[in-house]
Each structure stands twice: as C-alpha cells, then as structure tokens.
Chains A and B, each alone.
Chain A
Amino acid sequence: MLGLRIFVYIVVVLMLLPVLITFPVALTSVARISFPPVGLSGRWFMAIFSDTVLLDSIIRSFWLATAAAIVAITIALPCAFVIHRSTSRARELLETWITGPRMIPQIVFALALLAYFETIGLAETFIGLVISHLVITIPFAFRTLLVSVSTMDKRLEWSSDVLGATPAQTFWRVMVPQLKTGLIAAFIFTFILSFNNVTLALFLSGFGQRTLPVEMFQRMNVGGMTPAIPALSFVLALVGVVLFIVLDRTVGVYRFLAGRD
C-alpha cells in the first residue's frame, strides 16, 4: 500500500506541475517565457486587463458557454425524462442516438460543420458556434441529467398528484427541487466543456471573433505570446479548481461525471 501511495502522489505532482509552473513564469518582469523568472513582477497579471483582444475573447467565451449550457440543459432534460420512463429497447436506441456525437472525433465533426455551415450560411456566426457546442455538450448534459432523473422518487410526484396539483405544479414544486443538484452540475459541466472547447471554435469562429482558447492557441502557435498568457492560464486554472472543489464537496463529482462512461 505504501508503494501505491508513493506512486499516486508522484502522479499527483506531475498532474499539478504544468499548472503550478504557470504561476512563477507569469511573475516574470520581462516579456518572455523563462524559468526561473527574471525578476518578480505582477505586471503580466495586470496586463490581462489591458489586453482588449484577450478580454474580448474571454467575454465571448463566457456568453457562448452560458448560452450553450442553458439551451443544452433545457432540451436535454425532457429527453432524460422520456428515456427514464420508457422501455429498455427504446431506451438503448435513444441513448445511443443522443450520445452518438461522442463517438466521432471532434476534428472530423468540426470539418463537417465547417463545410456544412458554409452551404447554409452559418459560417463564422455566433449561432453556428453555439449550435456546434450544443451537439457535443448535449450527450453529456443528458447523461448527467439522466442520473439525476433516475434518482427521483416517483412517489413524491404521486403524492403531489393526489394532493391536487396539476402536472405543471408537480413539475415545478416537486420535481425541479429534486433535480436541483443535477441541474446545477449539468450546467457547470456543460459550461466548462463549452468554455474550454478548442477544436470547434478553431474551425468555426470567424477571424476577430475568437474565443479564449482559440486566442491562446493562436498566440502559442503563431505568435504574440507574452507572459500574460501563463498569467491568465493560472487564473483560469484556479477558478477551475475552486469550482471543482465546491462541486465535489456538495454534489459529488464522481457521481455525476461517472455518467460519462
């Protein structure tokens, strides 16, 4: 057991390393990436706020992710209900159909959409991007919500029924509260999936309309890299970690993400 422990902690260190390293690198006072950092300065963290292109992309990513998450949950929830209450044969079919997009390599799908959007005029539009994110996040939102729907107690609905509530009242007063944690989890996971998505955004966003990951990618690949990027990376990672910890302590990450398999 001790050997296992050591192994696991080595893995933990290696997993944390890439993120941890961005912090000291971002603290450098010069305009290039180096370790150890040359001098210590917080200027690059400040620089994030003066980099309008970067800020633009952050805001764009934010709205994109919010839109995608809200729509994904809204249309995946009814599916979770229907599938939970249907027979096993229909279930399998429907589940495979809805989670189908996960089987396709994202680059293949991105290319397909690129060509497709060109023909229907959605190329390089925000809506097109939202739709593309919907397709890949819905399987995931669906799975998470299915877990939640499966744990709903039908007797609560029946009690509400007998007590005189209409189906709509039962839905809002009894079912939604039961689903609350699942809805929140699905929202957060979907949001993160969309926010961090590179491939679809790379192929489908217009020039000058970049999302954050795309912006970061271009700076790494093409040019324009400054320590502001590691600074931003670190901040993003921090936010992600905090979100994760909050989720895990409240909702239990494995319970929901395990619906992923």
Chain B
Amino acid sequence: MRAGNESILRFENISKIFQGQVVLNNLSLEMRQGEFLTLLGPSGCGKTTSLNLVAGLLQPDSGTVFLRGQVANALPPRKRGLGLVFQSWALFPHLNAFDNIAYGLKIRGATETEIRTRVMAMLDLVRLPGVEQKFPSQLSGGMQQRVALARALVTRPDLLLLDEPLSNLDASLRKEMQIELRRIHSELSVSTLLVTHSQEEALIMSDRIAVMRRGRIECIDTPSVVYNRPPNEFVCSFVGDANIFRCEVEQVSGREAMLKWGAIRFVIAEPSGLAGGQMLTVAIRPENVILHRAGTADTHDGLVKDAIFKGSHFDYVISVGDDQLHVIALPPVDGVPFAQGEQICFSLPKSRVIPLAEDRADG
C-alpha cells in the first residue's frame, strides 16, 4: 500500500468492439504506481480485453491508453516494459525453466553472468530453487506458475499484468499463491494489474478493486469499501453474498430513515437524498443479520426454515413473511444452535444496511 502518486496506467474513454459486440464501453480508469489493482467481473465483462489493451496485444477502437503518463496506443508490446502472466502460463515448452526465465534477458542482450545472477535471484524470489534444468512438462502446475511469474519479473518491469493466474490451480495451491503474489508485490514494489472473476481473490490481494460489467466499471475502490459499501445491486451480489430486498421509505428524519419491508419496519442510517414515499433497494450481508432467541423492541420475528451446519458457522434460512433472509451466524452464546422450525428474532443493525442505487439500464 505504498502507492505513489504518479499514474502508471490510464485508460481514457476506451472503447473496443468485437464483431459487432461492444466489449469495452467508454471505459476510463487510472492506476497509481505501486498499487495492486484488480479488475473483477463475470466472464464477458471485458476485463481480459482491458488487459490485452494494456499489453498492446490489442488496439482500442477509440480512446487512449496512457502508460507512465505517455500515450501508448501505437506502442508495440515489446516496447512497453511490462510483465505478463497468462492463465495457462504459456511457458515455452522447448526451453527449460532457466531458459524460460532468461528469455527476456537474452533478448535484451544481457551477459551470461548477469543472466545467471538474475535468474537465480528470481528463482529464489518465487521460492523455486533447483528446478532450472527441468522442462515445463516436468513441472507441476504450481511450479509452472512460479516460473511464469519469474519470467515476467526478471526484466524488472514496472507494471505486472496477471490474467487469471490462479484459475488453473487447485484450492490449496491457490490460497498459497495468493499470499505469494501479495508478498512478491510488496517485495518488488511492482505495480500489479490482476484480472479475475474470483471475488475472494480480489478481496484478499488488492489495494483497489475495479468491478466490471459489460464493458463498464461499476465501481473502483478499496476492498473494504467495495464489500461494505457497494454502490449497486450488481456489485453487492457479485462481491460476497447479500440479502437484497426492496423497501418503501416511510419517513425521513434527520440522520435516519424508517423503511418498510413487508410487515417489518427498520431504520437505516445516513439516508442522503431519500424522500418519503419512494422505493429503495437495500442489502444486508448474511453475517450482519443478528439472531436472538428473545425479542426486543428492535427485533423482528422470523421462522428458521433451514439450519445448515458448516463447521465454523451455521447457514440459516429465515422465513420473514413471504420473503427469506440468508443468515450466517456462530452458534449463540448459550451453545445451543437454532433449530429448523424454531421461532426466532432477528435484527438489522442500521449501520449494516446498505442502500443501493438503481441498476442502470444496459448502455
């Protein structure tokens, strides 16, 4: 999080059309030097296309790509000074690990000794000593991943591009690599642009997340803000789980507003711009709904429809009138979990209710 102030990458009104489909729609974003920015979104949202535009493998149909403050549209990939790791790692099958990593250095005409030193240093950095002689087909997925990373980083690029690098790894390797990537990022202070559809990855690794949908950026902010204060329904449900429902604003007074959802009335904080009588979509994350055995003035009644034991926590489905709430909770203090069919009470803490903007119509 030692992001500098200089801009390493900037998209200004970038549009890209493939076979009649608008893949990127007037996209603008800015990435600061040293930061770890993730482009997060479902498939088809344009995140990989954006990455390819940064790399210079594609040209925008309109708009400008700035690298380090300079216009880079016409700059071929090899002159952009970047590092790139593909989802499939794309290691050269006919070269061993050492030669793969050394490739960029050989192209630049580095000396034998310099190559040796830097490649070995890189292997140390990615924690893969001893595999220099092995060929990609002899390496496991995780090892290929690290070699690909080493290859991209050995030329000391100031911007590293990662295209879903962890998708081909199994769950435990993925967790390991998430931490590794984060560590390498901070050790080298290399600006990193990650593309992924996994919100968990984005939350774990990023300084900032740009959530994309259909060629547009829905929001771009720190993981905490994106998770706790998503701007609209799409971001809210894409990043993490959420209970989303429509309420009617009954009255607004000062810094609170009273909302009506079915038979339930509850209060929400900071209702800027709300007026009585309008409809509002709100969300609350499952872990933020609080369940009680006994009711108080602030609680509402509900029926436990389903209780699923998940080891570290319980997943509950609570019936509220005709609707349902998905709730995640630790077992109550008295140690007895709520059971299916049990009448319980729940509360919606006003600071945890997230007001959401209307979903934009497709552009």
Contact = CB atoms under 8 A, between A and B. Distances in A.
A and B touch in the complex (CB under 8 A): yes
Interface of A: 153, 155-156, 158-166, 169, 173-174, 177-178, 180
Given A158-B77, A180-B94, 17 more contacts: A155-B86, A158-B55, A158-B86, A159-B151, A161-B76, A162-B56, A162-B82, A162-B161, A163-B103, A163-B104, A163-B107, A163-B152, A164-B107, A165-B103, A166-B78, A174-B92, A178-B94
A169 B107 contact: yes
A161 B77 contact: yes
B83 interface: yes
Contacts of B82: 162
22 contacts: A153-B88, A153-B90, A155-B86, A156-B92, A158-B84, A159-B84, A159-B151, A160-B92, A161-B56, A161-B77, A162-B55, A162-B78, A162-B152, A162-B161, A163-B107, A163-B151, A164-B104, A165-B78, A166-B78, A177-B92, A177-B94, A180-B94
Contacts of A158: 55, 57, 77, 84, 86, 90
B78 A163 contact: yes
A193 B90 CA distance: 36
B108 interface: yes
B62 to A, nearest CB: 23
B50 interface: no
A158 B51 CA distance: 13
Interface string B64-98: 00000000000011111011101010101110000
Contacts of B92: 156, 159-160, 174, 177
A159 B86 contact: yes
Contacts of A161: 56-57, 76-78
A158 B87 CA distance: 13
Interface string B106-127: 0110000000000000000000
B85 to A, nearest CB: 9
Contacts of A164: 78-79, 104, 107-108, 155
A162 B90 CA distance: 12
Contact of A162 (B80, B88, B94): B80
B95 to A, nearest CB: 8
A246 to B, nearest CB: 20
B90 A156 contact: yes
Nearest to B82: A162
B107 A165 contact: yes
A5 to B, nearest CB: 36
Nearest to A169: B107
B27 to A, nearest CB: 21
Interface of B: 55-57, 76-80, 82-84, 86, 88, 90, 92-94, 103-104, 107-108, 151-152, 155, 161
A207 B8 CA distance: 74
B136 to A, nearest CB: 11
Contacts of B94: 177-178, 180
A178 B90 CA distance: 13
A155 B55 contact: no
Nearest to A155: B90
A132 to B, nearest CB: 36
Nearest to A174: B92
A155 B78 contact: no
A248 B312 CA distance: 57
A174 B83 CA distance: 18
A130 B59 CA distance: 44
B83 A160 contact: no
Contacts of A162: 55-57, 77-78, 80, 82-84, 152, 161
B88 A155 contact: yes
Nearest to A161: B77
Contact of A163 (B56, B86, B155): B155
Contacts of A153: 88, 90
A23 B31 CA distance: 77
Nearest to B104: A163
Contacts of B152: 162-163
A155 B151 CA distance: 14
A173 B56 CA distance: 21
Contacts of B55: 158, 162
Contacts of A178: 93-94
A155 B84 CA distance: 10
A144 B106 CA distance: 32
Please give me the 7 A-B residue pairs with the lowest Cβ-Cβ distance, nearest first: A155-B90, A163-B104, A177-B94, A161-B77, A162-B84, A164-B107, A159-B90
A161 B90 CA distance: 12
A88 to B, nearest CB: 13
Nearest to B108: A164
Contact of A160 (B80, B93, B103): B103
Contacts of A156: 90, 92
A155 B83 CA distance: 14
Nearest to A180: B94
Nearest to A158: B57
A165 B102 CA distance: 12
A165 B161 CA distance: 17
Contacts of A159: 84, 86, 90, 92, 151
A186 to B, nearest CB: 18
A47 to B, nearest CB: 46
A161 B57 CA distance: 9
Nearest to B76: A161
Contacts of B80: 162
Contacts of B108: 164
Contacts of A166: 78
B141 to A, nearest CB: 16
Nearest to B80: A162
Contacts of B107: 163-165, 169
